[in-house]
Each structure stands twice: as C-alpha cells, then as structure tokens.
Amino acid sequence: FERQDGRLQRQRLLVVANRLPVSAVRKGEDSWNLEVSVGGLVSALLGVNEFEANWIGWAGVNVTDEIGQRSLTEALAEKRCIPVFLDQELVHQYYNGYCNNILWPLFHYLPLPQEDRLATTRSFQSQFAAYKEANQMFADVVNEHYQEGDIVWCHDYHLMFLPKCLKEYNSEMKVGWFLHTPFPSSEIHRTLPSRSELLRAVLAADLVGFHTYDYARHFVSACTRILGLEGTPEGVEDQGQLTRVAAFPIGIDSDRFIRALELPAVKYHIKELQERFAGRKVMLGVDRLDMIKGIPQKILAFEKFLEENPDWRDKVVLLQIAVPTRTDVPEYQKLTCQVHEIVGRINGRFGTLTAVPIHHLDRSLDFPALCALYAVTDVALVTSLRDGMNLVSYEFVACQASKKGVLILSEFAGAAQSLGAGAILVNPWNITELASSIGYALTMSANEREKRHQHNFLHVTTHTSQEWAETFVSELNDTVVEAQLRTRH
C-alpha cells in the first residue's frame, strides 16, 4: 500500500482472539508485569513483514477498577495489544461455560453435557447469552480501533459471533475467521441448540478458514443441511452472496526451534537429560491436560507395553508434560485426578527403588528446556482423540535433525494429514495397537527412521506459520476484491 507521500505503508491487521498473547500480573495500583507468550499465532505474525499486527483480546485477569483498566491498557499498548475487559461472571458463563464446556468438547466429538438435563438446558441458555454478549464486547473494541483499510482476522471457537457483530457495524470491513479446532461432522454440529445462529454468524465473514479440507467440508455440509444453503467449490452461497470457505493448514516457526538447539542453555539441558536417562530410551508426551489429548489412553498403552515386554521395563522411560489448563472447568479437574491415579498405579507396579517408568509433570517447561527434551527424545507420542492440528508433533520434528526419532501420531489430529507419511499413525482408542506401535517405534531401523524423519522435516520446514498467515491474509484481500468486482458487474 502506497501512502500519498509515496512511501510504502504496511497494511494494518487487527488480530482478534479470546486471549491476548501477553499474560498480565498486577504489581501495584497502576503497575503491571507483562509476559509475552510466543505461541503459534504470535510467531506466525512476527514473521510476516507486510502487515502491522495489532492484537485485541481478553487479558486473562479480572480488572474492575478504572485505574487498573487504564494502566493495563497503557502498558499493553506498548506491545500493540488492546484489552477487552470481561467481568468474572461473564468469564464464567462465556469462557468456562459456553466455550469450554459446550463448544470445545462438541467440536472434538464429545457430546453435549448430559447430567441433569433440565439444569443443563437452563444454564445452556444463559451461557449462550453470555457468549453473544462477550462477542459483542469484542466487536465494540474492534470497532473503536478500526481504521479504513484494516483487515480484521478473528480467531477460534470463542468468537463465532464476532463476524456478524462486525459486519453490523460496518459491512465494508474485511473480516476473516479462522477455526483452530476441528469442525465436526454436520451430524454432531446439529445437536447444538444454537447451531443455526452460530453458522449464520460465521457466514457473515468474507473468508472462513480451517486447518484441513475435511473440516471445511464439514462446515459447508452443516450450512447446506442445517441452513438449506448452497455449497459451491468456493464456499457457501446465500442469495447470491458468497462466503469463501477454504483450508489453511497452520505450521510453526521451524527456524526458531532449529536455531534454539545451538543455544548454550539448550545444550546444557540436553547434556543433563542425556546423563539422567543414559541407557534408557526416552519417550515423550507434551500436552495441555485436556480430555481431547488422549493422555489416559497413551499411559494405558505404555502400561500394556511394559506388561507384555518385561525386558523393556528398565530400558525405557515416558516423560509426560501435562500443562494445566482451564482448571475452573469440572471436567478438567476430573481428568487431572484420573491421570494422577493411573500414573501412580503404573509407577507403583513397575517402578523400582531407583527408577520409575513414568515421569509426569503438571506444569509447562520454558522454551530451552522444551527444545532440549524434544531433541533427546527417541519416540514422541501424540495420541489426541481429536485435535485441530497439533503443533507439538511439528515442534518435535523440527528438533530431531540429529536424532531422527519416531513420531507416533493419532490419525484424529489434523497433523496426520501432513505428517502421516513420516509418522506411525494410530487409533488412540485401540490400546493394543498403540502398545504394539510403541514396540515398533522403539526397535525401528536407523534407515527407516531416517526416511520417515526426512519426509516430516521437509514438510515442517517448508509449511511454516509465516506462510500460513501470509496465505490467509492475501486470500482474504483477494476474496474481498473479487466480491467487489462481482457486485459491480
């Protein structure tokens, strides 16, 4: 974009996501400690120089006083972040309730809550109302900061109502929406009481994106079967108006991981881990402690493997990093107890005075420690029961240039469609198959490991997060231009 004075100006991107990429901790009445978290989305947009990304989202803290809100807004502005303030009750109904107890499970093929149907129906309605209210609050903040020509990129299942709210403010806004989870089969989506309202709200966007072609197809089927609209190869058409629907598989900033392996801190951790687990093969799981990740299935398969292969009992260790998440939602609390119980039982059963088969950590690791763990791992286990993409599998591959370890990957993760040829694909519900895949992975020939790794490494280093962001945004620009041309003719 050229300015009037002839200088090039970067296009402004308003990235709207439930959570800002910064976590805020209050230090005093008007002082804040901000920590930037470099997740997939942040690194994707850092690498794209054509755009100037500004973030709009919830800061993850409850701030009700004016001084707090003003000082946090000022502090965040330095990081190009704009907060949306949600009060505690709204967070409870919208985030813990509708987002993480209804939409998240359903989109991962876990049915709607069944206990006490009446109570669920009542709370379902109030949670949906809170969801719409929260989405409207995000829209208000976007509208306040919007400048003509900006691109507004909405993210994930938290903000399905946002495209509609934004277009009601300004039908000229360029609006894209991307879903980071699977979009389920239309038969699953149709169980949702608010199924039609949500679909129509998303269709207000100019471009709707998913990780895989399957998810895009499920979305189009939901629109045709539930709303009776017409699906075309380009997307969904409603009275001559097209919403473009397409697949944009996300990636990682692979260079960041590859470069990290040269850092002294990472080398130090690598050496430490190698010494600690000398003589044993290292198997690794890194997941948020979420029911969709199939952590119990993974651990039970490891138990079966040890049960059937006594020779391996003192030669292999499973390191499971389980990052706590959404800890106010009862389902997540139950899962934590369940996982602890299984790990305790297995360690009691197969542990010795000097070693245990499973090291389970309920916390996240910092970046150097994580890279080191990826680098020393012989077999990574990604056993999601469903997963939009799963970037842990990509991060593991990026850190394995010298070791060429094996990736065991669930066929229900989006990543199975890109890393399937290099990984061992498994159905995580089939514990017997999973246990025998562990044996196969641990004894795989160096030649086969090399070939599989090369395939995945090439994919991970060429389909990066930067490329993903660029493709989505340029497709959104093109979609809007094409729509303008169509209305002119």
Closest CA to 137 of 99, 87, 80, 176: 87
For ligand G6P, the closer CB: 39 or 439: 39
Encoding tokens for residue 317? 């260790």
CA distance 64 to 352: 52
User: Which of 325, 336, 436, 471 is in the footprint of ligand G6P by CB under 6 A?
Assistant: 325
For ligand G6P, the closer CB: 325 or 427: 325
For ligand G6P, the closer CB: 95 or 305: 95
CA distance 466 to 42: 10
CA distance 73 to 67: 10
For ligand G6P, the closer CB: 108 or 164: 108
For ligand G6P, the closer CB: 71 or 212: 212
Bridge partners of 153? 15, 176
For the chain, percent helix, then strand, then coil, each to nearest 5?
50, 20, 30
| Residue 23 phi, psi dihedral angles, 5° rounding | -105, 140
CA distance 180 to 388: 6
CA distance 441 to 445: 9
- Using CB under 6 A as the binding rule, whether residue 181 contacts ligand G6P is answered as yes
Binding-site residue total for ligand G6P (CB under 6 A)? 6
CA distance 242 to 205: 10
Q: Are 379 and 241 spatial neighbours (Cβ–Cβ below 8 Å)? A: no
Closest CA to 248 of 47, 86, 472, 94: 472
- Residue type present at position 3: R
Instruction: For tokens 């993903």, name the residue.
Output: 468
For ligand G6P, the closer CB: 19 or 164: 19
Encoding tokens for residue 431? 């514990």
* Binding string, residues 79-118; x marks residues near ligand G6P by CB under 6 A: ----------------------------------------
Which residue has its beta carbon closest to ligand G6P? 180
User: Which of 82, 156, 183, 203 is in the footprint of ligand G6P by CB under 6 A?
Assistant: 156
Contacts (Cβ under 8 Å, ≥6 apart) of 81 = 20, 21, 22, 54, 55, 56, 57, 59
Taking the complex as a whole, the smallest distance from the CB of residue 389 to ligand G6P amounts, in Å, to 9
User: Which of 326, 359, 403, 455 is in the footprint of ligand G6P by CB under 6 A?
Assistant: 326
Encoding tokens for residue 253? 């900033």
For ligand G6P, the closer CB: 41 or 261: 41
For ligand G6P, the closer CB: 196 or 325: 325
For ligand G6P, the closer CB: 180 or 218: 180
CA distance 238 to 204: 10
User: Which of 12, 180, 189, 386 is in the footprint of ligand G6P by CB under 6 A?
Assistant: 180
Taking the complex as a whole, the smallest distance from the CB of residue 180 to ligand G6P amounts, in Å, to 4
* Binding string, residues 12-31; x marks residues near ligand G6P by CB under 6 A: -------x------------
Contacts (Cβ under 8 Å, ≥6 apart) of 200 = 164, 227
Q: Are 308 and 346 spatial neighbours (Cβ–Cβ below 8 Å)? A: no
Closest CA to 328 of 91, 121, 111: 91
For ligand G6P, the closer CB: 388 or 405: 388
Binding residues (CB under 6 A) for ligand G6P: these are: 19, 156, 180-181, 325-326
